[in-house]
Protein backbone atom coordinates (compact mmCIF):
# COMPACT_ATOMS: atom_id res chain seq x y z
CA UNK A 1 0.00 0.00 0.00
CA UNK A 2 1.07 3.59 -0.55
CA UNK A 3 2.17 5.27 2.72
CA UNK A 4 -0.19 7.91 4.04
CA UNK A 5 0.53 11.34 2.66
CA UNK A 6 2.85 10.06 -0.06
CA UNK A 7 1.72 10.84 -3.58
CA UNK A 8 1.66 8.11 -6.25
CA UNK A 9 3.85 9.12 -9.23
CA UNK A 10 1.64 9.74 -12.24
CA UNK A 11 2.36 11.01 -15.73
CA UNK A 12 -0.49 12.02 -18.04
CA UNK A 13 0.02 12.99 -21.68
CA UNK A 14 -2.74 13.99 -24.12
CA UNK A 15 -2.38 14.13 -27.87
CA UNK A 16 -5.03 15.64 -30.17
CA UNK A 17 -4.76 14.50 -33.76
CA UNK A 18 -6.48 14.99 -37.14
CA UNK A 19 -8.64 12.10 -38.26
CA UNK A 20 -6.36 10.57 -40.92
CA UNK A 21 -3.95 7.66 -41.19
CA UNK A 22 -0.82 9.79 -41.62
CA UNK A 23 -1.54 11.52 -38.32
CA UNK A 24 -2.27 8.11 -36.76
CA UNK A 25 1.23 6.96 -37.66
CA UNK A 26 2.79 10.12 -36.21
CA UNK A 27 0.80 9.76 -32.99
CA UNK A 28 1.95 6.13 -32.62
CA UNK A 29 5.56 7.26 -32.87
CA UNK A 30 4.94 10.16 -30.48
CA UNK A 31 3.36 7.93 -27.83
CA UNK A 32 6.14 5.39 -28.31
CA UNK A 33 8.67 8.17 -27.60
CA UNK A 34 6.78 9.15 -24.43
CA UNK A 35 6.84 5.55 -23.21
CA UNK A 36 10.51 5.23 -24.12
CA UNK A 37 11.31 8.32 -22.04
CA UNK A 38 9.75 6.56 -19.07
CA UNK A 39 12.06 3.56 -19.39
CA UNK A 40 9.86 0.93 -21.02
CA UNK A 41 11.79 -1.95 -22.56
CA UNK A 42 12.07 -2.47 -26.29
CA UNK A 43 9.70 -5.43 -26.17
CA UNK A 44 7.07 -3.35 -24.32
CA UNK A 45 7.49 -0.52 -26.81
CA UNK A 46 6.94 -2.88 -29.74
CA UNK A 47 3.82 -4.30 -28.09
CA UNK A 48 2.38 -0.82 -27.44
CA UNK A 49 3.19 0.24 -31.00
CA UNK A 50 1.09 -2.67 -32.31
CA UNK A 51 -1.73 -1.91 -29.84
CA UNK A 52 -1.79 1.78 -30.78
CA UNK A 53 -1.61 1.11 -34.52
CA UNK A 54 -4.63 -1.22 -34.39
CA UNK A 55 -6.76 0.96 -32.07
CA UNK A 56 -6.06 4.36 -33.69
CA UNK A 57 -6.30 3.04 -37.27
CA UNK A 58 -9.67 1.46 -36.46
CA UNK A 59 -10.89 4.79 -35.08
CA UNK A 60 -9.85 6.54 -38.31
CA UNK A 61 -11.14 3.82 -40.67
CA UNK A 62 -14.64 3.66 -39.16
CA UNK A 63 -15.38 7.36 -38.73
CA UNK A 64 -18.30 8.65 -40.79
CA UNK A 65 -17.69 11.26 -43.46
CA UNK A 66 -19.48 14.05 -41.57
CA UNK A 67 -17.12 13.56 -38.60
CA UNK A 68 -13.86 13.43 -40.57
CA UNK A 69 -12.99 16.98 -39.48
CA UNK A 70 -13.51 16.20 -35.80
CA UNK A 71 -10.14 15.48 -34.18
CA UNK A 72 -9.37 12.31 -32.23
CA UNK A 73 -7.78 12.33 -28.80
CA UNK A 74 -5.27 9.89 -27.33
CA UNK A 75 -4.41 9.99 -23.63
CA UNK A 76 -1.45 8.18 -22.07
CA UNK A 77 -1.33 7.68 -18.32
CA UNK A 78 1.64 6.09 -16.50
CA UNK A 79 1.83 5.02 -12.86
CA UNK A 80 4.54 3.12 -11.04
CA UNK A 81 3.02 -0.20 -12.06
CA UNK A 82 1.14 0.17 -15.32
CA UNK A 83 0.43 2.08 -18.52
CA UNK A 84 -3.09 3.05 -19.57
CA UNK A 85 -3.94 4.41 -23.03
CA UNK A 86 -7.35 5.84 -23.91
CA UNK A 87 -8.43 6.43 -27.51
CA UNK A 88 -11.45 8.76 -27.91
CA UNK A 89 -13.23 8.52 -31.27
CA UNK A 90 -16.46 9.69 -32.97
CA UNK A 91 -17.48 6.46 -34.76
CA UNK A 92 -20.83 4.74 -34.35
CA UNK A 93 -19.13 2.30 -31.98
CA UNK A 94 -19.71 -1.41 -31.61
CA UNK A 95 -20.20 -4.07 -28.94
CA UNK A 96 -16.91 -5.49 -27.70
CA UNK A 97 -17.23 -9.31 -27.88
CA UNK A 98 -17.45 -11.21 -24.59
CA UNK A 99 -15.07 -13.89 -25.96
CA UNK A 100 -12.36 -12.84 -28.38
CA UNK A 101 -11.07 -15.51 -30.77
CA UNK A 102 -8.70 -15.47 -33.69
CA UNK A 103 -10.87 -15.08 -36.83
CA UNK A 104 -10.76 -17.50 -39.75
CA UNK A 105 -8.13 -17.03 -42.45
CA UNK A 106 -10.77 -15.81 -44.92
CA UNK A 107 -12.30 -13.32 -42.49
CA UNK A 108 -11.74 -9.64 -43.29
CA UNK A 109 -12.02 -8.35 -39.71
CA UNK A 110 -11.53 -9.22 -36.09
CA UNK A 111 -7.75 -9.54 -36.04
CA UNK A 112 -7.23 -6.09 -34.49
CA UNK A 113 -9.55 -6.89 -31.57
CA UNK A 114 -7.79 -10.24 -31.06
CA UNK A 115 -4.38 -8.54 -31.08
CA UNK A 116 -5.41 -5.79 -28.64
CA UNK A 117 -7.06 -8.29 -26.29
CA UNK A 118 -3.98 -10.54 -26.18
CA UNK A 119 -1.36 -7.80 -25.83
CA UNK A 120 -3.06 -5.97 -22.94
CA UNK A 121 -4.01 -6.97 -19.41
CA UNK A 122 -7.45 -5.36 -19.55
CA UNK A 123 -9.66 -3.68 -22.17
CA UNK A 124 -12.76 -1.55 -21.62
CA UNK A 125 -14.76 -0.17 -24.54
CA UNK A 126 -17.27 2.53 -23.58
CA UNK A 127 -19.90 3.54 -26.11
CA UNK A 128 -21.46 7.00 -25.85
CA UNK A 129 -23.92 9.22 -27.72
CA UNK A 130 -21.23 11.73 -28.70
CA UNK A 131 -18.23 9.44 -28.93
CA UNK A 132 -16.59 6.31 -27.64
CA UNK A 133 -13.56 5.54 -25.50
CA UNK A 134 -11.30 2.50 -25.73
CA UNK A 135 -9.35 2.04 -22.49
CA UNK A 136 -6.36 -0.34 -22.64
CA UNK A 137 -4.15 -1.17 -19.68
CA UNK A 138 -0.92 -3.12 -19.48
CA UNK A 139 1.19 -3.74 -16.37
CA UNK A 140 4.81 -2.63 -16.52
CA UNK A 141 7.78 -2.69 -14.19
CA UNK A 142 10.53 -0.17 -13.48
CA UNK A 143 8.74 2.81 -14.97
CA UNK A 144 10.96 5.89 -14.68
CA UNK A 145 9.52 9.26 -13.46
CA UNK A 146 12.27 11.73 -14.21
CA UNK A 147 10.53 14.78 -12.72
CA UNK A 148 10.33 15.59 -9.02
CA UNK A 149 8.97 12.75 -6.92
CA UNK A 150 5.28 12.68 -6.21
CA UNK A 151 2.33 14.43 -7.77
CA UNK A 152 0.63 14.08 -11.07
CA UNK A 153 2.40 15.38 -14.16
CA UNK A 154 0.95 16.32 -17.47
CA UNK A 155 2.34 17.13 -20.84
CA UNK A 156 5.98 16.75 -21.70
CA UNK A 157 8.36 15.53 -18.99
CA UNK A 158 12.04 16.22 -18.49
CA UNK A 159 14.68 13.77 -17.26
CA UNK A 160 17.09 14.62 -14.43
CA UNK A 161 20.74 13.49 -14.59
CA UNK A 162 20.42 10.34 -12.48
CA UNK A 163 17.30 9.14 -14.26
CA UNK A 164 18.90 9.91 -17.60
CA UNK A 165 21.95 7.81 -16.72
CA UNK A 166 19.71 4.96 -15.54
CA UNK A 167 17.62 5.15 -18.69
CA UNK A 168 20.73 5.38 -20.89
CA UNK A 169 22.29 2.34 -19.28
CA UNK A 170 19.07 0.40 -19.75
CA UNK A 171 18.81 1.46 -23.37
CA UNK A 172 22.46 0.54 -24.00
CA UNK A 173 21.85 -2.91 -22.56
CA UNK A 174 18.76 -3.29 -24.70
CA UNK A 175 20.64 -2.13 -27.79
CA UNK A 176 23.50 -4.56 -27.07
CA UNK A 177 21.03 -7.41 -26.70
CA UNK A 178 19.25 -6.36 -29.89
CA UNK A 179 22.56 -6.11 -31.77
CA UNK A 180 23.56 -9.58 -30.60
CA UNK A 181 20.16 -10.98 -31.53
CA UNK A 182 20.24 -9.32 -34.96
CA UNK A 183 23.74 -10.70 -35.59
CA UNK A 184 22.56 -14.19 -34.61
CA UNK A 185 19.48 -13.80 -36.80
CA UNK A 186 21.65 -12.73 -39.74
CA UNK A 187 23.94 -15.74 -39.32
CA UNK A 188 20.92 -18.02 -38.91
CA UNK A 189 19.21 -16.61 -42.00
CA UNK A 190 22.40 -16.92 -44.04
CA UNK A 191 22.78 -20.54 -42.96
CA UNK A 192 19.12 -21.25 -43.69
CA UNK A 193 19.48 -20.00 -47.26
CA UNK A 194 22.68 -21.98 -47.76
CA UNK A 195 21.37 -25.27 -46.42
CA UNK A 196 17.96 -24.79 -48.07
CA UNK A 197 19.71 -24.87 -51.43
CA UNK A 198 21.22 -28.23 -50.53
CA UNK A 199 17.99 -29.93 -49.42
CA UNK A 200 16.98 -32.70 -51.77
CA UNK A 201 20.38 -32.92 -53.47
CA UNK A 202 22.01 -36.31 -53.88
CA UNK A 203 24.45 -36.52 -51.00
CA UNK A 204 25.10 -38.73 -48.02
CA UNK A 205 22.82 -37.89 -45.12
CA UNK A 206 25.73 -38.40 -42.73
CA UNK A 207 27.85 -35.80 -44.56
CA UNK A 208 24.99 -33.29 -44.64
CA UNK A 209 24.32 -33.83 -40.93
CA UNK A 210 27.97 -33.36 -39.99
CA UNK A 211 28.30 -30.03 -41.81
CA UNK A 212 24.94 -28.70 -40.64
CA UNK A 213 25.44 -29.64 -36.99
CA UNK A 214 28.98 -28.24 -36.89
CA UNK A 215 27.41 -24.98 -38.02
CA UNK A 216 24.86 -25.29 -35.21
CA UNK A 217 27.73 -25.52 -32.72
CA UNK A 218 29.19 -22.24 -33.98
CA UNK A 219 25.99 -20.18 -33.92
CA UNK A 220 24.58 -21.71 -30.73
CA UNK A 221 28.01 -21.38 -29.03
CA UNK A 222 27.88 -25.05 -28.06
CA UNK A 223 30.74 -27.51 -27.49
CA UNK A 224 29.40 -30.83 -28.77
CA UNK A 225 26.47 -32.59 -30.41
CA UNK A 226 25.11 -36.12 -30.82
CA UNK A 227 22.51 -36.99 -33.45
CA UNK A 228 20.80 -40.36 -33.52
CA UNK A 229 18.64 -41.39 -36.47
CA UNK A 230 15.54 -43.47 -35.80
CA UNK A 231 14.88 -46.60 -37.86
CA UNK A 232 11.25 -47.60 -37.48
CA UNK A 233 11.63 -51.14 -38.82
CA UNK A 234 14.23 -51.90 -36.13
CA UNK A 235 12.81 -49.56 -33.48
CA UNK A 236 16.31 -48.33 -32.79
CA UNK A 237 18.08 -44.99 -32.46
CA UNK A 238 21.32 -45.35 -34.39
CA UNK A 239 24.18 -42.87 -34.05
CA UNK A 240 24.42 -41.00 -37.36
CA UNK A 241 26.79 -38.18 -36.44
CA UNK A 242 28.71 -36.86 -33.43
CA UNK A 243 31.03 -33.89 -32.98
CA UNK A 244 34.01 -36.06 -31.95
CA UNK A 245 35.06 -39.70 -31.69
CA UNK A 246 34.57 -39.89 -27.92
CA UNK A 247 30.82 -39.63 -28.51
CA UNK A 248 30.57 -42.77 -30.67
CA UNK A 249 27.89 -44.31 -28.47
CA UNK A 250 26.00 -47.61 -28.83
CA UNK A 251 22.54 -47.75 -30.40
CA UNK A 252 19.41 -47.37 -28.28
CA UNK A 253 16.32 -49.59 -28.41
CA UNK A 254 13.12 -47.54 -28.46
CA UNK A 255 10.13 -48.93 -26.62
CA UNK A 256 8.12 -48.26 -23.49
CA UNK A 257 11.11 -47.01 -21.54
CA UNK A 258 11.23 -45.85 -17.95
CA UNK A 259 12.69 -42.66 -16.57
CA UNK A 260 16.03 -44.31 -15.84
CA UNK A 261 16.78 -45.31 -19.39
CA UNK A 262 18.41 -42.10 -20.54
CA UNK A 263 17.44 -38.54 -21.37
CA UNK A 264 17.27 -39.23 -25.12
CA UNK A 265 14.67 -41.97 -24.73
CA UNK A 266 12.70 -39.85 -22.26
CA UNK A 267 12.52 -37.04 -24.81
CA UNK A 268 11.22 -39.46 -27.46
CA UNK A 269 8.56 -40.87 -25.15
CA UNK A 270 7.46 -37.42 -23.91
CA UNK A 271 7.80 -35.84 -27.39
CA UNK A 272 9.27 -32.77 -25.62
CA UNK A 273 12.66 -31.19 -25.11
CA UNK A 274 14.59 -32.48 -22.11
CA UNK A 275 17.16 -30.44 -20.17
CA UNK A 276 20.17 -31.07 -17.95
CA UNK A 277 21.99 -28.40 -15.95
CA UNK A 278 25.42 -28.69 -14.27
CA UNK A 279 25.29 -30.51 -10.96
CA UNK A 280 22.22 -32.60 -11.70
CA UNK A 281 22.66 -36.25 -10.83
CA UNK A 282 22.18 -38.53 -13.80
CA UNK A 283 21.16 -42.16 -13.93
CA UNK A 284 23.85 -44.84 -14.01
CA UNK A 285 22.13 -46.08 -17.18
CA UNK A 286 22.46 -42.68 -18.88
CA UNK A 287 24.21 -43.29 -22.26
CA UNK A 288 25.47 -39.67 -22.23
CA UNK A 289 26.72 -39.98 -18.64
CA UNK A 290 30.29 -38.98 -19.53
CA UNK A 291 29.40 -35.65 -21.16
CA UNK A 292 26.36 -34.39 -19.26
CA UNK A 293 27.81 -34.32 -15.76
CA UNK A 294 29.00 -30.71 -15.80
CA UNK A 295 27.21 -29.20 -18.80
CA UNK A 296 24.12 -27.43 -19.98
CA UNK A 297 22.38 -29.90 -22.28
CA UNK A 298 19.28 -29.76 -24.47
CA UNK A 299 17.82 -32.92 -26.04
CA UNK A 300 15.42 -32.22 -28.89
CA UNK A 301 13.28 -35.05 -30.36
CA UNK A 302 12.59 -34.23 -34.01
CA UNK A 303 9.14 -34.97 -35.39
CA UNK A 304 8.16 -34.47 -39.02
CA UNK A 305 4.54 -35.21 -39.94
CA UNK A 306 4.21 -37.30 -36.77
CA UNK A 307 7.24 -39.38 -37.81
CA UNK A 308 10.42 -39.48 -35.71
CA UNK A 309 13.50 -38.94 -37.91
CA UNK A 310 15.82 -38.73 -34.91
CA UNK A 311 17.00 -37.06 -31.70
CA UNK A 312 19.50 -34.19 -31.45
CA UNK A 313 21.47 -33.54 -28.26
CA UNK A 314 23.57 -30.36 -27.89
CA UNK A 315 25.67 -29.33 -24.91
CA UNK A 316 28.16 -26.80 -23.61
CA UNK A 317 30.23 -26.31 -20.46
CA UNK A 318 29.17 -24.70 -17.21
CA UNK A 319 31.16 -21.51 -17.83
CA UNK A 320 29.20 -20.70 -21.02
CA UNK A 321 25.92 -20.52 -19.12
CA UNK A 322 22.53 -21.84 -20.21
CA UNK A 323 21.37 -21.59 -23.80
CA UNK A 324 19.52 -18.43 -24.78
CA UNK A 325 16.08 -18.48 -26.33
CA UNK A 326 17.40 -17.45 -29.76
CA UNK A 327 19.99 -20.24 -29.66
CA UNK A 328 17.39 -22.83 -28.71
CA UNK A 329 15.17 -21.64 -31.54
CA UNK A 330 18.12 -21.94 -33.94
CA UNK A 331 18.87 -25.50 -32.75
CA UNK A 332 15.24 -26.52 -33.23
CA UNK A 333 15.06 -24.90 -36.68
CA UNK A 334 18.13 -26.68 -37.98
CA UNK A 335 17.02 -29.95 -36.45
CA UNK A 336 13.97 -29.67 -38.73
CA UNK A 337 16.29 -29.05 -41.70
CA UNK A 338 18.07 -32.28 -40.88
CA UNK A 339 14.74 -34.08 -40.57
CA UNK A 340 13.71 -32.83 -44.03
CA UNK A 341 17.00 -34.05 -45.52
CA UNK A 342 16.52 -37.47 -43.93
CA UNK A 343 12.98 -37.61 -45.33
CA UNK A 344 14.29 -36.58 -48.77
CA UNK A 345 17.00 -39.24 -48.62
CA UNK A 346 14.42 -41.84 -47.63
CA UNK A 347 12.17 -40.74 -50.48
CA UNK A 348 15.06 -40.90 -52.96
CA UNK A 349 15.97 -44.38 -51.74
CA UNK A 350 12.36 -45.52 -52.02
CA UNK A 351 12.16 -44.05 -55.53
CA UNK A 352 15.37 -45.82 -56.58
CA UNK A 353 14.18 -49.07 -54.98
CA UNK A 354 10.88 -48.73 -56.81
CA UNK A 355 12.66 -48.17 -60.11
CA UNK A 356 14.84 -51.23 -59.49
CA UNK A 357 11.79 -53.29 -58.56
CA UNK A 358 9.97 -52.10 -61.67
CA UNK A 359 12.96 -53.12 -63.80
CA UNK A 360 13.15 -56.48 -62.02
CA UNK A 361 9.48 -57.07 -62.72
CA UNK A 362 10.05 -56.26 -66.39
CA UNK A 363 12.87 -58.81 -66.48
CA UNK A 364 10.72 -61.36 -64.67
CA UNK A 365 7.86 -60.80 -67.13
CA UNK A 366 10.27 -61.36 -70.03
CA UNK A 367 11.56 -64.54 -68.39
CA UNK A 368 8.05 -65.75 -67.77
CA UNK A 369 7.02 -65.09 -71.36
CA UNK A 370 10.13 -66.83 -72.69
CA UNK A 371 9.18 -70.02 -70.83
CA UNK A 372 5.89 -70.40 -72.68
CA UNK A 373 5.99 -72.19 -76.04
CA UNK A 374 5.24 -69.94 -78.98
CA UNK A 375 3.56 -72.81 -80.86
CA UNK A 376 1.96 -76.02 -79.65
CA UNK A 377 3.05 -79.24 -81.45
CA UNK A 378 0.56 -81.67 -82.94
CA UNK A 379 -0.58 -84.82 -81.17
CA UNK A 380 -2.24 -87.53 -83.24
CA UNK A 381 -5.95 -87.68 -82.53
CA UNK A 382 -5.87 -84.79 -80.06
CA UNK A 383 -6.00 -80.98 -80.07
CA UNK A 384 -3.94 -78.91 -77.60
CA UNK A 385 -4.85 -75.55 -76.03
CA UNK A 386 -2.99 -73.64 -73.31
CA UNK A 387 -3.22 -70.30 -71.49
CA UNK A 388 -1.29 -68.46 -68.77
CA UNK A 389 -2.68 -65.22 -67.29
CA UNK A 390 -0.89 -63.29 -64.55
CA UNK A 391 -3.04 -62.12 -61.62
CA UNK A 392 -1.32 -58.75 -61.51
CA UNK A 393 2.07 -59.97 -60.26
CA UNK A 394 4.86 -61.90 -61.90
CA UNK A 395 5.05 -65.37 -60.45
CA UNK A 396 6.47 -68.81 -61.05
CA UNK A 397 3.53 -70.40 -62.89
CA UNK A 398 4.44 -71.86 -66.28
CA UNK A 399 3.62 -74.69 -68.66
CA UNK A 400 5.55 -76.45 -71.41
CA UNK A 401 4.99 -79.05 -74.11
CA UNK A 402 7.94 -81.30 -75.06
CA UNK A 403 7.87 -83.32 -78.28
CA UNK A 404 9.24 -86.86 -77.87
CA UNK A 405 9.96 -89.79 -80.18
CA UNK A 406 7.18 -91.84 -81.80
CA UNK A 407 4.76 -88.87 -81.76
CA UNK A 408 4.49 -88.81 -77.94
CA UNK A 409 4.34 -85.64 -75.83
CA UNK A 410 5.32 -84.57 -72.30
CA UNK A 411 3.08 -81.93 -70.75
CA UNK A 412 4.65 -79.95 -67.91
CA UNK A 413 2.97 -77.54 -65.53
CA UNK A 414 4.49 -75.97 -62.41
CA UNK A 415 3.96 -73.35 -59.71
CA UNK A 416 7.06 -71.92 -58.01
CA UNK A 417 6.39 -70.55 -54.51
CA UNK A 418 6.82 -66.77 -54.40
CA UNK A 419 6.80 -63.90 -56.88
CA UNK A 420 9.20 -61.83 -58.92
CA UNK A 421 12.61 -62.71 -60.34
CA UNK A 422 13.50 -65.57 -57.91
CA UNK A 423 10.32 -67.48 -58.81
CA UNK A 424 10.78 -66.77 -62.52
CA UNK A 425 14.41 -67.96 -62.42
CA UNK A 426 13.54 -71.25 -60.71
CA UNK A 427 10.74 -71.77 -63.23
CA UNK A 428 13.27 -71.27 -66.04
CA UNK A 429 15.69 -73.76 -64.46
CA UNK A 430 12.95 -76.34 -63.93
CA UNK A 431 11.90 -76.05 -67.57
CA UNK A 432 15.50 -76.51 -68.68
CA UNK A 433 15.90 -79.65 -66.57
CA UNK A 434 12.78 -81.28 -67.99
CA UNK A 435 13.89 -80.44 -71.53
CA UNK A 436 17.42 -81.73 -70.86
CA UNK A 437 16.22 -85.28 -70.11
CA UNK A 438 13.52 -86.07 -72.70
CA UNK A 439 14.50 -89.76 -72.77
CA UNK A 440 13.25 -90.10 -69.17
CA UNK A 441 9.85 -88.54 -69.85
CA UNK A 442 8.35 -91.97 -70.57
CA UNK A 443 8.79 -92.65 -66.84
CA UNK A 444 7.59 -89.34 -65.35
CA UNK A 445 8.01 -90.53 -61.71
CA UNK A 446 11.72 -91.24 -62.23
CA UNK A 447 12.25 -87.95 -64.07
CA UNK A 448 10.55 -86.03 -61.23
CA UNK A 449 12.83 -87.77 -58.69
CA UNK A 450 15.95 -86.75 -60.62
CA UNK A 451 14.81 -83.15 -60.97
CA UNK A 452 14.09 -82.91 -57.22
CA UNK A 453 17.58 -84.17 -56.32
CA UNK A 454 19.16 -81.57 -58.61
CA UNK A 455 17.07 -78.63 -57.31
CA UNK A 456 16.85 -79.59 -53.61
CA UNK A 457 19.96 -77.79 -52.36
CA UNK A 458 19.17 -74.51 -54.12
CA UNK A 459 15.49 -74.47 -53.20
CA UNK A 460 15.99 -75.42 -49.56
CA UNK A 461 18.73 -72.79 -49.10
CA UNK A 462 16.21 -70.04 -49.89
CA UNK A 463 13.20 -71.73 -48.26
CA UNK A 464 11.37 -72.15 -51.54
CA UNK A 465 9.61 -75.08 -53.16
CA UNK A 466 7.89 -75.95 -56.44
CA UNK A 467 4.71 -77.87 -57.13
CA UNK A 468 4.77 -79.52 -60.53
CA UNK A 469 3.04 -82.11 -62.69
CA UNK A 470 4.50 -84.14 -65.55
CA UNK A 471 2.09 -85.89 -67.95
CA UNK A 472 3.35 -88.34 -70.59
CA UNK A 473 0.89 -89.08 -73.45
CA UNK A 474 1.26 -91.92 -75.99
CA UNK A 475 -1.53 -91.30 -78.53
CA UNK A 476 -0.98 -94.57 -80.40
CA UNK A 477 -1.29 -96.71 -77.25
CA UNK A 478 -3.97 -94.41 -75.80
CA UNK A 479 -2.01 -94.27 -72.53
CA UNK A 480 -1.44 -91.39 -70.11
CA UNK A 481 1.19 -91.48 -67.31
CA UNK A 482 1.22 -88.86 -64.54
CA UNK A 483 3.74 -87.89 -61.82
CA UNK A 484 2.93 -85.11 -59.34
CA UNK A 485 5.10 -83.10 -56.95
CA UNK A 486 2.40 -81.83 -54.62
CA UNK A 487 0.47 -80.32 -57.52
CA UNK A 488 -3.25 -80.05 -58.27
CA UNK A 489 -4.77 -83.31 -59.59
CA UNK A 490 -5.13 -83.82 -63.32
CA UNK A 491 -8.77 -84.04 -64.44
CA UNK A 492 -9.91 -86.45 -67.19
CA UNK A 493 -13.44 -86.24 -68.58
CA UNK A 494 -15.07 -88.72 -70.91
CA UNK A 495 -16.09 -87.52 -74.35
CA UNK A 496 -19.75 -87.42 -73.38
CA UNK A 497 -18.97 -85.56 -70.11
CA UNK A 498 -20.70 -88.33 -68.21
CA UNK A 499 -17.76 -88.81 -65.88
CA UNK A 500 -14.81 -86.76 -64.58
CA UNK A 501 -12.03 -88.46 -62.67
CA UNK A 502 -9.03 -87.05 -60.82
CA UNK A 503 -5.52 -88.39 -61.17
CA UNK A 504 -3.17 -87.37 -58.34
CA UNK A 505 -0.30 -89.71 -57.49
CA UNK A 506 1.54 -88.90 -54.25
CA UNK A 507 4.69 -86.81 -54.18
CA UNK A 508 6.20 -84.00 -52.09
CA UNK A 509 6.79 -80.58 -53.65
CA UNK A 510 10.25 -80.21 -55.18
CA UNK A 511 12.82 -78.92 -52.70
CA UNK A 512 11.17 -80.26 -49.52
CA UNK A 513 12.93 -83.67 -49.17
CA UNK A 514 16.16 -84.63 -50.90
CA UNK A 515 15.39 -88.35 -51.12
CA UNK A 516 11.74 -88.01 -52.09
CA UNK A 517 10.25 -90.75 -54.30
CA UNK A 518 7.54 -89.86 -56.78
CA UNK A 519 4.81 -92.30 -57.68
CA UNK A 520 3.48 -92.67 -61.17
CA UNK A 521 -0.12 -93.24 -62.22
CA UNK A 522 -1.08 -94.77 -65.59
CA UNK A 523 -4.52 -94.21 -67.08
CA UNK A 524 -5.95 -95.74 -70.25
CA UNK A 525 -7.60 -93.21 -72.49
CA UNK A 526 -11.02 -94.00 -73.93
CA UNK A 527 -12.53 -92.52 -77.01
CA UNK A 528 -11.80 -88.77 -77.31
CA UNK A 529 -11.28 -87.89 -73.63
CA UNK A 530 -10.73 -84.33 -72.35
CA UNK A 531 -7.68 -83.78 -70.12
CA UNK A 532 -7.06 -80.69 -67.95
CA UNK A 533 -3.95 -79.83 -65.96
CA UNK A 534 -3.85 -76.46 -64.14
CA UNK A 535 -2.43 -74.47 -61.22
CA UNK A 536 -4.24 -73.43 -58.05
CA UNK A 537 -4.85 -69.95 -59.46
CA UNK A 538 -7.98 -71.52 -60.97
CA UNK A 539 -9.43 -73.14 -57.86
CA UNK A 540 -8.42 -70.31 -55.50
CA UNK A 541 -10.03 -67.56 -57.59
CA UNK A 542 -12.65 -65.68 -55.50
CA UNK A 543 -15.95 -64.03 -56.31
CA UNK A 544 -17.18 -60.64 -54.95
CA UNK A 545 -18.30 -62.46 -51.76
CA UNK A 546 -14.70 -63.70 -51.26
CA UNK A 547 -15.76 -67.32 -51.90
CA UNK A 548 -13.20 -69.55 -53.63
CA UNK A 549 -14.12 -71.32 -56.86
CA UNK A 550 -12.82 -74.64 -55.49
CA UNK A 551 -12.08 -78.14 -56.83
CA UNK A 552 -15.69 -79.31 -56.83
CA UNK A 553 -16.86 -76.47 -59.05
CA UNK A 554 -13.96 -77.06 -61.44
CA UNK A 555 -14.86 -80.77 -61.70
Residue 36 has pLDDT above 80, yes or no: yes
- The proportion of the chain whose per-residue pLDDT surpasses 90, expressed as a percent, equals 23
What's the pLDDT score for residue 202? 53
What's the pLDDT score for residue 104? 63
What's the pLDDT score for residue 184? 54
Q: What is the DSSP string of 392-456?
A: SS-EEEEEEEEE-GGG-EEEEEEEEEEEHHHHHHHHHHHHHHHHH-GGGTTSHHHHHHHHHHHHH
What's the pLDDT score for residue 508? 95
- Cβ atoms within 10 Å of 88's Cβ, excluding its own: 19
What's the pLDDT score for residue 279? 67
Question: How distant is the alpha carbon of residue 339 from its chain centre?
Answer: 9
The CATH fold of domain 183-347 = Beta-Lactamase (3.30.450)
Q: How confident is residue 255, by pLDDT bands cut at 50, 70 and 90?
A: low
CATH architecture designation of domain 10-159: 2-Layer Sandwich (3.30)
**Mean of pLDDT values over 287-301:** 77
**Mean of pLDDT values over 264-291:** 74
Question: Where is average pLDDT lowest: 338-342, 410-414, 483-487?
Answer: 338-342
What's the pLDDT score for residue 149? 39
**What does the domain layout of the chain look like in residue ranges?**
10-159, 183-347, 374-554
Question: Where is average pLDDT lowest: 191-205, 407-421, 446-460, 509-523?
Answer: 191-205
Q: How confident is residue 148, by pLDDT bands cut at 50, 70 and 90?
A: very low
Residue 259 has pLDDT above 60, yes or no: no
What lies within 8 Å, CB to CB, of 486 at 6+ separation is: 465, 467, 507, 508, 509, 512
Average pLDDT, the chain: 80
What's the pLDDT score for residue 266? 84
| CATH code given to domain 374-554 | 3.60.40.10
Amino acid sequence: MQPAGEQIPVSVNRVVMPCNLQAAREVCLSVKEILSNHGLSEIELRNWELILAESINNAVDHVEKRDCDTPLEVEVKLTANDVTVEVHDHTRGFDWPTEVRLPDVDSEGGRGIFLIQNLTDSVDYRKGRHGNTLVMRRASRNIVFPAAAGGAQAGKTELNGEALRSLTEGLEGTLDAMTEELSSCYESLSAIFRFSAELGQSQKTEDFAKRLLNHVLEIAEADWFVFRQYFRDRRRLVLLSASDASLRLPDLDVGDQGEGDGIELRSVNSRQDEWISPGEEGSDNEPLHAVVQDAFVIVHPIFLNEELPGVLTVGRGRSAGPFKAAQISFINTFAQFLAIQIANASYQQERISKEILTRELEIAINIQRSLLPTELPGLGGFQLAASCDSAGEVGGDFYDVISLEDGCLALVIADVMGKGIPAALFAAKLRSLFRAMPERAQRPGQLMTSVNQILYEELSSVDMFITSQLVYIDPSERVLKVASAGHCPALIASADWAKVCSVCPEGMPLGVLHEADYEEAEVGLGNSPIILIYTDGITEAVNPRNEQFGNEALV
